Amino acid sequence: MAILEILEYPDPRLREVARPVGEVTEEIRSLVESMAETMYDAPGVGLAATQVGISQRIFIIDIAGEDEPSDLKVFINPELFDADGVQVYKEGCLSFPGATEDIKRAERIKVRALDLQGTAFEFEADGLMAVALQHENDHLNGILMIDKLNAFQRRKMGRKLAKARSEDATTS
Q: How far is the CB of 164 from Ni ion (least distance, A)?
A: 15
**Beta strands across the sheet bearing 46-48:** 46-48, 58-61, 73-84, 108-114, 120-126
Site for Ni ion in 92-151 (CB under 5 A): 93
Q: Judge whether 106 and 85 are in contact, CB under 8 Å.
A: yes
Q: How far is the CB of 48 from Ni ion (least distance, A)?
A: 7
Site for Ni ion in 75-94 (CB under 5 A): 93
Q: For residues 172 and 164, what is the distance between their CA atoms, to the nearest angstrom?
A: 12
Q: How far is the CB of 61 from Ni ion (least distance, A)?
A: 11
Number of residues that bind Ni ion (CB under 5 A): 1
Strands (DSSP E) along 68-171, which ranges?
73-84, 87-92, 100-105, 108-114, 120-126
Q: How far is the CB of 46 from Ni ion (least distance, A)?
A: 6
Q: For residues 135 and 92, what is the distance between their CA atoms, to the nearest angstrom?
A: 10
Q: Which residues form the catalytic set?
A: 136
CA angle 126, 75, 113 (to 5 degrees): 85
Q: Which is nearer to Ni ion, 93 or 111 (CB)?
A: 93
Three-class DSSP labels, 124-151:
EEEHHHHHHHHHHHHHHCCCCHHHHCCH
Q: Which is nearer to Ni ion, 118 or 153 (CB)?
A: 153
Q: Which is nearer to Ni ion, 49 or 93 (CB)?
A: 93
Considering the rule CB under 5 A, would residue 45 count as an interface residue with Ni ion? no
Q: Which is nearer to Ni ion, 58 or 93 (CB)?
A: 93
Which residues contact Ni ion (rule: CB under 5 A)? 93
